Amino acid sequence: MTKQTIHFGTSGWRGVIADDFTFAGVRRASAAIAGHVGAQKKNPKLVVGHDTRFFSPEFARTAAGVLRKNGCEIVFCSEATPTPVLAHAIIHNNFDGGVNITASHNPAEYNGLKFSGPDGGPALPDITKDIEKRAAALADDDAHFQDIADDFERIDPRGPYFAQLKKMIRFDRLAKAKGNFAYDAVHGCGAGWLDRILTDHGMTVESIRTRRDVLFDGSGPDPSEENLAPLKKLVLEKKSLAGLATDGDADRFGILDRDGTFVQPNHILGLVFDYLLETRGEKLGASRSVATTHLIDAVARLHGVKAYETPVGFKYVGPLLRAGKIALGGEESAGMTVHGHLPEKDGILACLLVAEMIAARQESLGDQLSDLFRRVGAEFWPVRENLHLPAEAQAKLPKRLLENFSEFAGHKVAKIDRTDGLKLIFDDSSWILIRPSGTEPVVRIYTEAAKLAAAKKLAEEARAWITQ
């Protein structure tokens, strides 16, 4: 059997279960992680957790056993644990890092492994490259991979994490919300976390899909518009103020307005950034990935602060957060964190901030967005599409992305940005970005324009160029 290549993309190592992601691979990746952390510190202490996916608990125990066999002290999360909770546990307990078995929002056939450093944030590229190199040098049948015992010290990170959220969220303001909230856990491990802290603070929460289902209703644990149809029905039935959702490991969010309309994550980032600057008294900027809405930039200009652009991947947010430069770090793929919190995206925090914002402003999200567009003097409508290419076309794409453009499909190019993929910014401030995914075998097309129809047309033109 050919040894699997272990590659860490924008958010960990992921693959199809039993094909790309196997017990042999988990053992090898865990031994490589042990080698890396052991080179930094003698007898490092790591926390290991998992989500609700198929075989996630078993993969996690395997990883923990190999880590321990290779010189790491291990504590094991006592239940399915959201990625942001594990990140907080690392910081709160001064652990030397953590491993979480999760494929986040990927389809049900996937699983994955995330490694976080001692700051709680996703490992940066120099670290993951070292882990990949170490893994490549190991054989699948090495004897030191065989310890998979289940006698680890257990940890319950709920109390400290909830205490952290109390510092970040104004629950007194949230308690004044005139109505209930609906929550959809999409069978992920946000169940018992977001709904629990809301009810602990006196909120009425209607929750669905809170039990483990390794097939995720057949739709996957991505809180996308198409996957949140059950939540839309609940919002309308219960006349909720909003629908809140988290993905498989609760690091991403999905939001529905009170009329059931899906609110784009890009728009949520802009709204929350504006709300934080209005209410927290901080004159800090925001970071956005190259694929994220320029509404962030417009809000920054409105408040006289700076917007920072990063490559795709939340690992690039941590340095800006630690430097005290940003009030919010965001990615269009529904990732958010804020100043004073974690260098990791947190869907639970994001949903709570949205709920607080609704309670404080006493307006629907649609009305708030219209007001924000009015105040910044422009509208921003993003579109994202995934394109599955034949292998031959996919192989040719990297070279094509290096071409120079003075115009594209009749649009005059004002700027070319190669921070991550190919981004063309046009003279009317609309833009397109073409980049291969770091987590799935697809090419992603991102566009943004002042009208949704114009953004969709740009996406069509980008798709035609890619497939020509």
Pairing between β-strand 45-50 and β-strand 98-101 as defined by DSSP bridges? parallel
- CB 327, CB 277: distance < 8 Å: yes
- 308-362, pLDDT tens digit by residue? 999 998 989 999 999 999 999 999 999 999 999 999 999 999 999 999 999 999 9
Does residue 147 have a pLDDT over 60? no
What is the pLDDT averaged over residues 391-405? 86
HSE-up (13 A, CA, CB side) for residue 92: 20
- CB 205, CB 146: distance < 8 Å: no
Burial class (CB in 10 A: 0-12, 13-18, 19+), 372: buried
Angle at Cα 341 formed by Cα 337 and Cα 343, nearest 5°? 60
Stated pTM of the model: 0.95
pLDDT of residue 139: 83
In the chain, what is the straight-line distance between the N-terminal and C-terminal CA atoms, in Å?
37
- 217-267, pLDDT tens digit by residue? 998 999 999 999 999 999 999 999 999 999 999 999 999 999 999 999 999
pLDDT of residue 354: 98
Dmax (CA) for the chain in angstroms is: 64
Pairing between β-strand 326-331 and β-strand 13-16 as defined by DSSP bridges? unpaired
Written as six digits, the tokens of 292 are: 């994220």
Q: Which domains does the chain have, with CATH numbers?
A: 13-158 (3.40.120.10), 181-263 (3.40.120.10), 264-379 (3.40.120.10), 381-467 (3.30.310.50)
- 424-461, pLDDT tens digit by residue? 999 999 999 999 876 567 899 999 999 999 999 999 99
The helix (run of H) or strand (run of E) holding residue 67 is helix 56-69
- CB 134, CB 78: distance < 8 Å: no
In sequence order, which residues have a C-beta less than 8 Å from that of residue 9 and are 6 or more positions away? Answer: 437, 438, 439
Give the confidence band of 143 by pLDDT, cuts at 50, 70, 90. very low
- CB 423, CB 377: distance < 8 Å: no
Q: Count of CB atoms within 10 A of residue 370's CB? A: 13
Q: Count of CB atoms within 10 A of residue 376's CB? A: 19
pLDDT of residue 396: 84
Q: Rounded distance, CA 327 to CA 339, Å? A: 5
In sequence order, which residues have a C-beta less than 8 Å from that of residue 209 and are 6 or more positions away? Answer: 184, 185, 186, 187, 191, 217, 230
Q: Rounded distance, CA 438 to CA 423, Å? A: 16
- 44-83, pLDDT tens digit by residue? 999 999 999 999 999 999 999 999 999 999 999 999 999 9
Short-list 310, 105, 294, CA closest to 190: 105
What is the rounded average pLDDT for all residues in the chain?
Answer: 94
Burial class (CB in 10 A: 0-12, 13-18, 19+), 325: middle
| φ and ψ of 251, to 5 deg | -95, -10
Short-list 106, 228, 92, CA closest to 165: 92
pLDDT of residue 146: 55
pLDDT of residue 2: 66
- Sequence letter at residue 341: H
pLDDT of residue 291: 97
- 3-49, pLDDT tens digit by residue? 778 999 877 899 999 999 999 999 999 999 999 999 999 999 999 99
pLDDT of residue 342: 96
What is the pLDDT averaged over residues 122-146? 83
- Sequence letter at residue 405: F
Written as six digits, the tokens of 38 are: 């052991």
Q: What DSSP state is assigned to residue 347?
A: H
Is the torsion defined by CA of 342, 348, 349, 351 positive or negative?
positive
